[in-house]
Amino acid sequence: MLKIGVLISGRGSNLQALIDACAGDEFPAKIAVVISNKPDAYGLERAKLAGIPTITVPHGTFSSREAFDQEVDRHLREAGVKLVCLAGFMRLLSEQFVRGWKDRMINIHPSLLPSFKGLNTHARTLQAGVKIAGCTVHYVRPEMDEGPIIMQAAVPVLAGDSEENLADRILVQEHLIYPAAVRLIAEGRVRVAGETCIITGSGKNSGISEALISPR
Ligand code: GRF
């Protein structure tokens, strides 16, 4: 059973997707702790409802980014975490922290990386006029939204889409691929080779959202 730690700052819908997946009988991972940098993050309620230990580490009370990161690191290690999942965690992590969790920390981002890194993703996606948007689960590197890609799902951009419509459509896929990526990792099927991931083993789950694999 892979012990995961989830870092959040807000709503926590991806955390909920992970909670729901972990509740499944044969899911190979378990959430050991949920850590938020914001005391009022709704995701903390979701974790409590599921009986998962929660910790708030308010970033404003630390003298430096490094001091905050060290405290988060300590809690993760104390909980026996082997994989860190960033789920709407809105703080940049120090290089030292990221290196300490290299290839053991993943993130979900609402675009088809390497396009549209950073904030205001949906607005920039619409502005660019791309016809296919999507989401990506990737290992974390010190640069924002960089790192070996584990899984992606594509989503059409429809005429007249608002940021909200597009975000909602992408979020449905986020909630599918985040648990699916955790499962791949827990099953030992993800190998980092240079700056890409090789997904091993046969079967339909090979790094592309299952929703995209058309039935024959
Ligand atoms: C998601 O869109 C995720 O891709 C991005 O932040 C948002 C978090 O939403 N990194 P939630 O808190 O999981 O509902």
Give pLDDT tens digits for 154-179: 999 999 999 999 999 999 999 999 99
Closest ligand 1 atom to 13 CA: 14
Contacts with 160 (C-beta within 8 Å, 6 or more apart), sequence order: none
Ligand 1 atom 1 nearest Cα: 88
pLDDT at position 215 is 36
Closest ligand 1 atom to 135 CA: 4
pLDDT digits over 9-18, tens only? 999 999 999 9
Rounded to the nearest whole angstrom, what is the distance from the C-alpha of residue 109 to the centroid of ligand 1? 7
Mean pLDDT of 186-211: 80
**Would you say residue 117 has pLDDT above 80?**
yes
Assess whether 109 carries a catalytic annotation: yes
Tokens of 188: 């030992």
Rounded to the nearest whole angstrom, what is the distance from the C-alpha of residue 62 to the centroid of ligand 1? 25
Regarding the beta carbon of 138 and ligand 1, being less than 6 Å apart is answered no
- DSSP string of 139-186? E--SSTT-S-EEEEEEEEPPTT--HHHHHHHHHHHHHHHHHHHHHHHH
pLDDT digits over 50-102, tens only? 999 999 999 999 999 999 999 999 999 999 999 999 999 999 999 999 999 99
Regarding the beta carbon of 17 and ligand 1, being less than 6 Å apart is answered no
Tokens of 146: 């960089």
Rounded to the nearest whole angstrom, what is the distance from the C-alpha of residue 216 to the centroid of ligand 1? 33
**Would you say residue 29 has pLDDT above 80?**
yes
Ligand 1 atom 8 nearest Cα: 88
Rounded to the nearest whole angstrom, what is the distance from the C-alpha of residue 131 to the centroid of ligand 1? 21
Ligand 1 atom 14 nearest Cα: 13
Regarding the beta carbon of 174 and ligand 1, being less than 6 Å apart is answered yes
